[in-house]
Structure 1
Amino acid sequence: MRKMIFLLFFLIFVTSNSFSKPSIRSLTSRETASTVESDLPSSDNYGSFKNRHWISTALGQTHLMGDFYKTGDNAMGYEVFYTYIASSQFDFTANFHYSEHERDNEWLKLPSFNIGIKYKFYEKDSLNLFTLGGLGFYYPKAMHDDGVVTDSKATAGIHVGTGIDLKLNPDLGMGFMGHFHKPFTIKQENTRDVSGAYFNLMTYLSYNFL
């Protein structure tokens, strides 16, 4: 009887020990699985840039088209961009453009504020090819060869563009872009109408500020 009681206690002790302590094999398997999981790259290539706010400064050549070209020569243009990365393919953009153009005794100033949607149609590592388009608000002002300065009026218009965007690191990027603008015609009473289009060929530097 004593032997049976002793044997019973021994079996209970051995069994409880085996359940309370994980085996070396199970510990090794868990550690290996944890290591493998931590080493696996994320399947979301743009995850580190999601919901980010970017500011960009751009510099390039503004090429005048249509009646704008009759008033001034091509000149350097400046732009400031704000970009909100909404998803892996779509961004919201807003930008301000300014350029001044002269020819003989005529001049043309082209300030504008534009909003739009940017679509990234190709992605490879940190490189994106994109197109964008949207609505612009333009405030062109000119003095023609008759010496009359145009009335101060604003107009709407459209803009479209395409370019290459490269993320150098999580907080810095650069790129190149072609950007076409077509303000709607502004009618004038004392001089010829303000009408035309322009195309910007620019390079830009971007910074993630939030």
Structure 2
Amino acid sequence: MTQDPSRQPDQPSRYQAEQYPQAQYPQAQYPQAQYPQSQYPAPYPQGYPQASPVHGGYPAMRGVDQRTVVVKRPVAVSVGSVFWLLTALSWPVGTVVRLAVERPPSSFGTIVTLFVTGCLAIGGIVGAVYFHNGSHQARLVLCGSWFVVEIVALGMLVSALRETVEAGTLAVLVARLAFPLVAAVCGFLPGTRHHFSGS
């Protein structure tokens, strides 16, 4: 049998193609399964809002994300903060008023008194600011420390009542006793607990 020169090496000859035809297999056809659609809506939204630039806020955040809840400060806390400030200022200012009314001779003790009352006022002002911002520790420290100071102020008032004192001196001593009492009571009134619960 002669080989056809025009046939490629990998192609079968004409004789082989006639003797051995390629088998034809029927292709199976499978029906596609039909699943019922869910009748319940999706539990989450299909589309999400895109972030957009916000004037005066963060550009990568939505407007709803930048809304903050403002907790209203109780009125009793604001009043207590004012009286804690008055308590702190009553010592250095009261000392100056007593010196102006009584006019004692200048001495080293007067300078020391002004220095000590000034330091006491600075501590009281810092504590009043923390108290105003809702610090529970500041409330306890103010009440505890000024309780000790009240004992000193009460002793000064009793000593002054035994003598003849000026009206200005008596007013200073009474103010030093009354201001911290009002401030402490305002800090523990009903409705102020939630303001100090965050610290």
Q: TM-score, normalised by structure 2?
A: 0.28
Q: Which has the higher contact order (CA 8 A, sep 6+)?
A: 2
Larger helix share, 1 or 2: 2
Q: Which has the larger radius of gyration?
A: 2
Q: TM-score, normalised by structure 1?
A: 0.27
Larger strand share, 1 or 2: 1
